[in-house]
Each structure stands twice: as structure tokens, then as C-alpha cells.
Structure 1
């Protein structure tokens, strides 16, 4: 899964300006994000009338950025992968965004908000004078149209919904109202809206920073029959709207072709327009081709950098920027496969994987092995939960005393892709498979190209006993890490653990403080004891940039919008 800091009130920057490094040294600049208070009672924003859009100067600039995979679709409500969000973040905006300095929820299409009713509703004041890219006005009714659309998504559109952020945050849709915490959306005048919840959600404002909750033009949703998946985009079933999203963002979607998405600057954007006129995201399956394209000037930057390319970039004196780790790479265990229900089998898998070797050999330096799914700088990380240590002798003993009798274990892994949390998936798979074979497992490799539906294959019910996956954190709350994976039954893990679900449901509604931290401590302990999946690493990810780039809005939650890219002046 995708589509991921510091302890509360630690003032640190989350953006960094790249600098030219001396040869053979990487001046890698880490971006970090602050945990803001999640139960914000009011957050003032700039007065709409005081917003003065920046004027673009100089000749039109085309910026080409290389990526490691194609997007799955461009309707953010129905996707959860970073490459889709990389595009939609440029085109669409939500009510709130991440503050670039402290990571807390900050004004975007809403200029201020107020918590009401002990966290059961939030009233937002909306930004005036904003239009969608199709010329229709942005207003309160547009906000409610989007929220009601997400709540009422039909099964034919969403499937079981487990891959949508709406379900991961609000738990269910309108066809199961008793299990959903979404309470409705009310228009309070042209520029006022109230969102209601059925129970408090401490990370609600943080969750609204997710790209999935960006506001689309209602007219474009209707014109594009957004709930009817009758088109194809990079091999995925999508709607007409997902072929041409329309929002209020700094860039307008222009076109897509195999391996390429093109956008142009929005001339009527309400905020900072920036220097880039044409923005192109180009897919390069192989790390070497991305590197070559940057070196020859075909690309102005790319993401992600692999460990092998990191050294080459440093030696060539290229700019390399590192993000603060805010993702987890893990091995998924599917308990719908009968033998995986045996705890001893799952413990043997965990004890048989040498995380240190994996981290040292296949990830960027600074990546840490982990025994937990919550990053250590988030509240809720439990120092007393180191996870099951690597011990092949113990692993063999566990396997011998288990119900496993040599059955074939299908191990799914992605090919032809580089992810921020998994830079070299084939090599990581090969090492883990070798280690598990050495302790007695009969491993059957099942490689699937990322663009041929890998994510769907491993997140849907199926015969995948093991899978390589990762989770990019999207906002600074522990629920964003444990909730999507373990907070409800899903096809990826085949998990039926009412106790774990109950603990997560309770923890996400507790106010910030010792009780909430203790609740997530207990969740970490339960996950470590029951081994529904094996966390491997908290990866460092990095991007490479050409010397034409003077500043880049680096973000650990990948909120990197290209109107904030600054370019060096051309030589005179």
C-alpha cells in the first residue's frame, strides 16, 4: 500500500533548499515534519482579499521530472498510489494542507476552521474568489458535493473500498451507515461549510490533508461520469473524469500518453503561480535510464534515487535531497491462506528474515531496520517493542513445531518499478526468499509488473501467502500507519482480529496525551505479538535534481507541489 517525524512541539523545517555539493560528498538535506496538535480548535489563515497571486516572469519554462512508475488513475478519491497523487497534488487542492514549516494542518481552500461539539463537527470558512479550472465557482456546495460523493460511492465503483482513503479514515460508506463515522456535510452560506462526525477523530484535520480529499469541480465530475469506470488508463479501469481531473490547483491537466503526463500552469490560480509553465512527469522503469536522462539534460529531476545511483550522483556532483523517513517497508502475511493462520509459522517468517542485511545492502544509508509499523518519531512508538530478532536456528525450531509440512508458499513481489519505500524490489525479494528457503520454507516466486496490477493483486483476496509492500505515511498521526493495515479486515492480510480492530478504533478517537500514547503502545505490542505482517525498514528516500533547480519543496509526506520549485536564473 502507499499512498508515511518529530515529537510534538519540536520546531524544525520541513522544506529545504538544495545546495551544490563538493564532489564525492552528498549534502543530503533531510525534510522533517512536525506533529501538530490534532484537535485544533481554530486555525486562522490569510484573509481571502489579501491573497495576491505571484506573477510569472520570464519566458515559459518546461520542467521534466522522472518517476519510477505510471499513475494508476487521476481521480484521487479512487487511488492510493504515490504516482497518482504526485499528479493530482498539482491539479487539485483540499480544504487544508501541510504547513511547510511545522507540518501542522494549514489553510488551503479553507482559510480557517473551528472545532465544535467536542470534536463531532468542524466549521470551515472557505476562500473567496476561487474558481475551478473549468471556470465554475468554488463554494460550499462544491465541497459538500465532493464529500457526499465519497460517502455514497457505489460498490461497482469502489469495490470493497479497502483501497480508498475515505474508508480508511471514515471506516464505511452510506450502505453501511452504522459502521461509518461520517456524519454529513452542511452548507452554511456560499463560503461556509460544516463537516460532522459520529465519533471524535483526533487526526481528522490531518487526514483532510490527504490528496484523496481534494475538491473536484462538481461540473467536471458530472460531465466525466466519475462513478462509472468505463475507460482504461495505464491498464486500469477508470472513469472519464479520471482521464482529465479538474480542480483549483496551480497546474491544469493537459494530456497523458504512454509513460507521460503533461500539465500547464493555471493562469487564474489564486495563489503563488511559480516559474514553471509546462510540467511533464515521465516514467522510467529502470533506475539507470532515469540517471542517464538527468545526466544528458533530458530530465530536470527524478524520484526516487536508488542506492547504486546515489553514489553515481554524488560522484558526478549532482544535487541529491533526502527526505526524513516517513514510510515503512514490510512483508505482508495473508492469513486467508490456511497455513498462515498458524502463529508459529508467522513467527518463523519473522525470525528468518535478516533485516540488517536487507537495510545495509538494498537501501540508502541512514535507513533503519524496524520491528514496528509506527515510525519512532511519532507518538505511539514503543521502545519496548523491538520485534522478533533474526534467529535462523529459532526460526527452524518454530517451523518444525508448526503445522507447516512443506506446502508451496506463493510470494508475490513487484517488478519494473522503483518505490520510495522499496528502491530495488527484485533484489529485496531474492534475499528474503533465500533466507526463508534456508529455514525450510518452499517458496514459489510470483513476480508481477507494477503497472500490470501488482497492488490490486496483493490487496485483493487471493492466494498470495507473502507479499512485498510498503506504506507511505501521509499525515502525522499514528492512525495513518496502523489504521489502514490493521484497523479493518482486508484482502491483503486476510486478518480477522476483533481485539486489534477494537483497540485501533478506540485509540484514534482519544485526545492527544498520555492515554492515547499508551493506547498506541498497546497496539504496537499486540501487532508484534500476533505478527500479522513483518515490518522490515523505515526507508530513507531521495530525489535527484539538475543544477537548474535552486529550490525544491521537499516533504516527508510527499506534498511536493511544483509551483514552489525555484529555478536558477539563466546565464547572461
Structure 2
């Protein structure tokens, strides 16, 4: 999804995104799996090897926060809902259809029959409730934001009642009907049930391998065997092995899958952290494709006969501002000086691919609640210096972090993006203390613990709901922006909760539009930088990949000639 989810998308904005704003109110849908005409018609069998930018954290998607884990999990697990290929539109998966009460609190899911998990356990309403209750009843380390962040962001508290929970109860009306009761109406339900974190997992396997036995070990966590060796879903691929020595994850086709069977026998993820090395592996034939090729290489890859597929830009890159350590950052004039002093227009032109845009707010224009008349900050070095002087901050020194060993859809080259922003800030007379750490080797931990003053981060939307964007960023007063240092942090969180709970779509969009204006004018807790279209690249012999605005590609439809 953390914003690493990201871990936290598109070629022409018209494809898959028309009507995104209305998605949250979908009351029922039919699954379209197996009916997609773009699923490819190449030969079946063989192996598809995909170059991964990093190692998966684990294989239990409920405890995952990173994109590489979710990429693998999507192939092994199904959710009650999913997203229509190539779009952000929710459709049925293990639920064939659903409906809600008029107040948006009670949801009835009619389930697909004849589905079994990989261990032979039957999928039914009891299994649905077992999964919901598992999430809700996490204890100890299982409640940590670093472990079950997606649950915390979307459902709130747990059964111990320490914090309010969106989830209230689940009951099996019969084997094929599950009823979910919420404590509040929300724009993000049931869309969030299509996220990998909320996949359905075998209740028997969860119990057999003590799946909830997560232990804190210093600042890290130790996960049970289920999460590392025995993930058990109902998807088109089954877990085979994780060879850490060779940096490969191997999945095999689930021949008993309820839907369209995977075309390849094996799906292998080869871990290659360096983007140049991934490109070389593709060129040498060691892999069949990889994600997020450097935009500077798109043309040359096309000329060499590779298939470069570009997703629409359903993401945002932002410069995070942590107000905890330096009191001067709590002055709005200082934060305004930072945004005026960064030449975002030039950064987009020089560092990001064609089709990238300067972000005027923290959501793209395809999301309902986007404010067309929001305050914009054009590059103005003189104004930035004047604001710093007015705030008594002309001698500002800031700790600026940037991440290594990572490529994100919104951040194709972190080092160069950092360099451009840092150079602009130094022109204002700001002294920069530079720190770089690996993405999953200290960077995200330091950001979440509030160590840097400035940091690069971003988000690729999980759904088309505004709550999934600004609600995730600013809905918690004690988040990584430390908005809790100001009274408006709580005010903003309260306003966001009110907007999310508004059942009327037009009223909800208006509330979000007003909030986006306020965020950019009165609060400015961070600096939105850009929306950037990421790509994925494969050999010409690879058929059947449908690029997703949510980076939600499913590889069951892939064939390799």
C-alpha cells in the first residue's frame, strides 16, 4: 500500500479510470474472472520468471506491508472482492455478489460454491467469518502497526477495545451467505476486501501452523512457520518454495482452481534489487519481465523488441515533513517556503517519465474529491526566502533522508530526485544533513519513528476512495507527519473521519474537496510533488499481462511462447 505498500499506475487516463469516483458505492457486482478477452492465447505450460525489486517480507498477506510481498500473495490468494483487470473497479471474486443495508452498516455476501483452499479445506461462510475474526482478535505483537498496518489503517482497533473498530461482527447465515456488520458507514467498504491483506486464508492451515503467533524481537518481529513456509489460499498458484540462497520464490499452478487455470506450470520471482541488473537479466534471457524500468530506458527497450506497458499515474510522490524534531517546521510559513522553493515543474521534466504531472494535492484528479480550485504553489525562490526570513528561519538546518535499494512507481530514481530537491533547498540557504538507508533496511523504520525532518515517500492507491489517500496520510493525528504536534492534527483527523462516513456520494465528494483545499492552504503537512506513470516490461514472447492502475497484476493469464 506504510507508503511502501505499498509498500502504498496507468497509460491513458481513459482506460479503467472512468467512473473511479463512483466505485465506493457499488452495491453488488458479478465476477468477471475468466471472461477477460485480454488474457492471452499463447501456449500453456512452462515457467514465467519475473524480476522482483526486493525480497518478500513473508507470505501471509495479512501481516504484509510491502509491495513485493503483495505481488507474490496476489497469485496465491483470493479475496471476497477483487478489481476488474486493468481498472480500479471492484468486482466479485469469492463473493459472487453483495448488498448493503440502507445505512451502510450491514453487508450480505453471497459466496461462490465449490471452492477449496490449497489444503483441501472448504471455502464457505464459516471460513469468511474465521478470517474476519482472526483479524479482529489479534493480540500483542499482532496489533503492531508494523505487523498489521493494513488492518489498522482500514478497520481501526481490535477486540480488546483499546481503539474503536470499524468491524463489529460476522455471521454465517448459511454455508454460502456471510453477513458482515460494521460500526460505521464508510466509503472504502467493500472495496478494501480486494486488497491482498484481506485475502481469504484456510482456517485449518492458520490453526495448524499457529499463524497468529507473532513475536516481537527488539524492533523487529519473528513470524510463525505459516507465514514463511505454509501460506494457504485458494488462488490459481500454490506456494512451492522460497530459496533464499538463490533469491527465488517458486509457485506452481493450482490444477484444482475454481476459475480460469493458470497457463504456466511455474511462476518464479527472481529477486534482483538493482534496476540495471534487472534490465541486464531481461536482455540476457534470465528473466521474462520486471517492473518499474527506468523511464530513460523505455525507448531503448522498445527498440530492442521488448514490450513496455505503461500504467496510468494513479500515485503521488511527496516530500514528507516531520514537525517533531525542529519547532520551526511547525510554522506554516516555513512549510510554505519549502513548497515555493522546490522547482517541481523542472523536477517532473528532468527526472520523471513522459506523462508525469506536478501534484497540486495529495490525490490524482481521477479520485472523487479532487479539488480543481485548490491553492497552487508555483516555483518562486524569492518568495520562499522571504517567508523563511519572516519566520526567523533563514538559518534552517534539516535532516533529509532518501531511500536506497528501491524503485517505486512514484519514485523511479530516489537518488536523483533527492538531489534535485536538495539542490533547490540549499539555494534558499537551508543546510541539509543527508542520510540514506536501504528501503527495507532502516529507511522506513526511521521515517515511522520520526527521525528525519524531511523524507521522500509516496503512495500508489489501493482503491478509488479519497479516504485511501488523504485518510491514510492524515487520518491519524500521531502519524509520521507528527500532526499531533499541532491542534489541527486532531481536527483534520476528525474531519476526514466525517467525510469517509458520509453515505451520500455527492456530499462526500464535496467534503473531500473542501478538505483538500484546507490541507493545501491551512495545514500543508507535507509537499505533494508529482503523479508519475510507472511501466512494466516483458519479452515479446510473453502474452496476457493486463497492466493495472493499482499495480494489481495477476499472472494466471500469462503465457510464454
TM-score (norm 2): 0.90
* Structure 2 counterpart of 1:434: 423
Determine if contact 2:314/2:460 at 8 Å carries over to the other structure: yes
Instruction: Give matches, 1:247-266, under 5 Å.
Output: 247-258=233-244, 259-266=247-254
Q: Secondary structure of the equivalent of 2:421? A: helix
Cα 1:331/1:293, change in 2 over 3 Å? same
Q: Deviations over 1:430-473 (max 9, x none)?
A: 111111122122211110112313223212x2321111101010
Which of 536, 544, 550 in structure 2 is aligned with 1:551? Answer: 544
| Cα distance, 1:70 vs structure 2 | 2.1
| Cα distance, 1:151 vs structure 2 | 1.5
* Structure 1 counterpart of 2:24: 38
* Structure 2 counterpart of 1:378: 367
- Distance in 2 between residues matched to 1:391 and 1:277, nearest whole Å: 57
| Cα distance, 1:71 vs structure 2 | 2.1
Determine if contact 1:323/1:555 at 8 Å carries over to the other structure: yes
Which of 161, 183, 195 in structure 2 is aligned with 1:210? Answer: 195
Instruction: Give matches, 1:94-105, under 5 Å.
Output: 94-100=79-85, 103-105=88-90
| Cα distance, 1:143 vs structure 2 | 1.2
- Distance in 2 between residues matched to 1:68 and 1:110, nearest whole Å: 32
- Distance in 1 between residues matched to 2:33 and 2:344, nearest whole Å: 50
Q: Deviations over 1:213-265 (max 9, x none)?
A: 10111222223322223599xx8643322213210011111111333211111
* Structure 2 counterpart of 1:21: none
Determine if contact 1:374/1:381 at 8 Å carries over to the other structure: yes
Q: Deviations over 1:145-199 (max 9, x none)?
A: 1111111222422324696121211222223366222111111122211111111
| Cα distance, 1:485 vs structure 2 | 0.6
Q: Does 1:344 align with 2:333?
A: yes
* Structure 1 counterpart of 2:518: 526
Determine if contact 1:38/1:512 at 8 Å carries over to the other structure: no
- Distance in 2 between residues matched to 1:202 and 1:215, nearest whole Å: 22
Determine if contact 1:185/1:195 at 8 Å carries over to the other structure: yes
* Structure 1 counterpart of 2:467: 479
Determine if contact 1:346/1:531 at 8 Å carries over to the other structure: yes
Q: Secondary structure of the equivalent of 1:453? A: helix
**Which structure 1 residue ranges, 5 or more long, are not aligned?**
15-30
Q: Secondary structure of the equivalent of 1:188? A: strand
* Structure 2 counterpart of 1:561: 554
**After the TM superposition, which segments of 4 or more aligned residues of structure 1 sit over 6 Å from their partners?**
56-59
Q: Secondary structure of the equivalent of 2:24? A: coil
Determine if contact 1:36/1:103 at 8 Å carries over to the other structure: no
Determine if contact 1:140/1:193 at 8 Å carries over to the other structure: yes
May I ask how many residue pairs the two structures share in their alignment? 541
* Structure 2 counterpart of 1:498: 490
Which of 350, 371, 395 in structure 1 is aligned with 2:384? Answer: 395
TM-score (norm 1): 0.89
With 402-411 and 524-533 compared, the bigger mean Cα shift is at 402-411
Determine if contact 1:5/1:377 at 8 Å carries over to the other structure: no
| Cα distance, 1:292 vs structure 2 | 1.2
Q: Does 1:75 align with 2:70?
A: no
Determine if contact 1:153/1:173 at 8 Å carries over to the other structure: yes
- Distance in 2 between residues matched to 1:44 and 1:58, nearest whole Å: 28
**Which structure 2 residue ranges, 5 or more long, are not aligned?**
none
* Structure 2 counterpart of 1:453: 442
Q: Does 1:226 align with 2:218?
A: no
Determine if contact 2:356/2:531 at 8 Å carries over to the other structure: yes
Determine if contact 1:370/1:387 at 8 Å carries over to the other structure: no
Determine if contact 1:413/1:429 at 8 Å carries over to the other structure: yes
* Structure 2 counterpart of 1:147: 132
Determine if contact 1:32/1:555 at 8 Å carries over to the other structure: no
* Structure 1 counterpart of 2:228: 243
| Cα distance, 1:342 vs structure 2 | 1.9
Q: Secondary structure of the equivalent of 1:38? A: helix
Q: Secondary structure of the equivalent of 1:141? A: helix
